[in-house]
Amino acid sequence: MPDADRNAVADKDYGIGVPVANPAFPLKGANNYDWGMKDRLARIFDARSTRTVMLAFDHGYIMGPTSGLERIDLSILPIGDLADCLMCTRGALRACIPPTMNKPVALRCSAGSTVLTELNNEVIGVEIEDAIRLNASAMAAMVAIGSQFEALTIKNLCLLVETGNRYGIPTLGVCAVGKELTRDARYLGLACRVIAENGAQFVKTYFCEPDFEKVTAACPVPIIIAGGKKLPEKEALAMARKAIDQGAAGVDMGRNIFQAEAPRAMIKAVRAVVHDGLTPEAAFEMYKDLQAKS
Ligand code: R5P
């Protein structure tokens, strides 16, 4: 409608002469993504620190009822509110996680083998429609660089990237675990780079020493680390600190949180390392204090 009072036009503020803000998107390599993709990544990575503490509990898809995950309702629900993102399968999500938890989800989309057979012989088991139905903020596929399933798992990754790009859902490429695969900087650096070059918007790998900073430097998108097997709490916190200091954008941690003596205290301590810059010593003190109070 035209202004009833034509003089009111003079009072409007068009900000003449004020440049339009055009802030860069803060995640590594993400500046040229479309809005929906950025929005989903911004739900996963904390705006303040641009890092993430993801809680991984997708282990059952290859290992069955993993220690600490026998009852996801009893182990994950009491700590899920402290995660920036949940990483799980669609089966666990629908059966055990109430949508009212309202957390971004990195949905495990590759499947096909278990610890009883050939690990990493996977296909994409989740259609994009189901990922959208579940409101996934990311889709994840295992990639087994250097194994007999290299081509197959790269193809799986490319399929997720292709469909994810169509609908604005980022893909998390997960460096495979496997007895025959070495976890040193040479291997992990190559694997992470290959995963990023194939279009993954972020990459999950393992921390390694020495030279983890070369792994993160050579990867053009954010790297987050898996926790791996359960360590003493202080060691797990020290690993997270070293990974962040050497360029990781966060953790996707499972067993070192849900198998900890005090899982809620542990995820708080991990958050303090990742988001607030605590030393492992200070974070471990925090863990012990919280454990004593729980
Ligand atoms: C690997 O891809 C698994 O499915 C887990 O998501 C991953 O290993 C992170 O869990 P954890 O910290 O227990 O190693």
Kindly give the parts of the chain with pLDDT less than 70.
1-10, 178-179
Residue nearest to atom 3 of ligand 1 (CA): 59
b/e code 130-146 from CB counts within 10 Å (16+ = b): ebeebebbbbbbbbbbe
Ligand 1 atom nearest to 140, measured from its CA = 2
Phi-psi region of 112 (alpha: psi -120 to 50; beta: other; left: phi over 0): left
Q: What is the pLDDT of residue 270?
A: 98
Q: What is the pLDDT of residue 205?
A: 98
Q: Is 51 in the pocket of ligand 1 (CB under 6 A)?
A: no
Q: Give the pairing of strands 250-253 and 223-226.
A: parallel
CA of 254 to the centre of ligand 1 (A): 6
Domains detected in the chain: 31-232+246-261 (3.20.20.70)
Q: Is the CB of 252 under 6 A from ligand 1?
A: yes
Give nearest CA residue, ligand 1 atom 14. Answer: 228
- Provide the pLDDT for residue 183: 87
pLDDT at 119 (0 to 100) = 85
Query: Looking at beta carbons, which pairs linking 184-192 to residues 24 or more positions away fall under 8 Å?
Result: 184/208, 184/211, 185/210, 185/211, 185/212, 185/214, 185/215, 187/145, 187/146, 188/212, 188/215, 189/214, 189/215, 189/218, 189/219, 190/145, 190/146, 191/143, 191/145, 191/146, 192/218, 192/219, 192/223
Closest CA to 50 of 195, 247, 230: 247
- What is the C-alpha separation between 145 and 133, in angstroms, rounded? 30
Q: Is the CB of 56 under 6 A from ligand 1?
A: yes
Active site residue 268: no
Catalytic residue among 204, 214, 242, 268: 204
Instruction: Evaluate: CB of 254 within 6 angstroms of ligand 1.
Output: yes
